[in-house]
Amino acid sequence: MDMQLKDRLALVTGASRGIGAATAIALAAKGAHVILTARTAAGLEQVEEAIFAAGGSATIAPLDLAQSDSIAKLATAVGERWNALDVMVLNAGTLGSLAAVPAIDPKEFAQVLTLNVSAPLAMIQAFDPMLRRSAGARVIGVTSSVGRTPRAYWGAYGASKAAFETLLESYGDEMAEIGRVRVAVIDPGATRTAMRARAYPGEDPASVKPPEAVAARIAQLAVDGFDANHRERVAA
């Protein structure tokens, strides 16, 4: 543990597996106390155990981000225990079905937008007061290249990520002028995750980088200083 984030509080969404789980472990290894959120309590408990085994500290908070009232309740509970939030990693998301634009199911599209756009917005709104009380908060969002480069059959997911990026970077611009909160948008690129396996079922998982590679960069961004919005793609 290098303790660069000692006495800092971090929160990671989608922390039960993949990039979210790896990021939570990486932040804890830097000394942060990490709040782990996801729908699956069992997965969160496994990540929490891994953090404890490595000498770190964490708190699990199972919740469904699609329910906006659960986010408000989480913010209230966190605010009653801690004064400030130093790192918030917005990683949770859903792929939906890959389909041609005329074939996108409106109900499923609404669900994708809820989890990929409305939930992160609710997280920012709920935790904004705690982020502002930090000496230098970092909000880091995990995106996809299809949010900026449209691709056939990825219209629904790409549209949600484009909206997600716009919200995050707008918030970053606002905070650059009035506070100490800074925003980074990270495109992990090809990474060994369950979502990747679903999108590319014939791909050899060993041919793409592990989530720990992305997590290491996110954890370092939680430490690094930058003046305004930051955006990068994590190289293989």
Active site residues: 157
- Angle, helices 106-113 vs 155-178, to 10°: value is 30
Spatial separation of the C-alpha atoms in residues 21 and 15, rounded to whole Å: 4
Beta bridge partners of 62: 38
Rounded CA-CA distance 112/110 in Å is: 5
> For the stretch 160-187, what's the b/e string if a residue is b when 16 or more beta carbons lie within 10 angstroms of its beta carbon?
bbbbbbebbbebbeebeeeeebbbbbbb
Q: What share of the chain is helix, strand, coil (3-state, %, to 5)?
A: 50, 15, 35
Residue 36, token pair as written in the block: 């782990």
Structure tokens at 233: 């793609």
Q: Where are the alpha helices (DSSP H) in 82-154?
A: 106-113, 119-132
The SS3 of residue 166 is helix
Structure tokens, 235: 């190289």
Max Cα-Cα span within the chain: 51
* Closest of 31, 37, 83 to residue 223, by C-alpha: 31
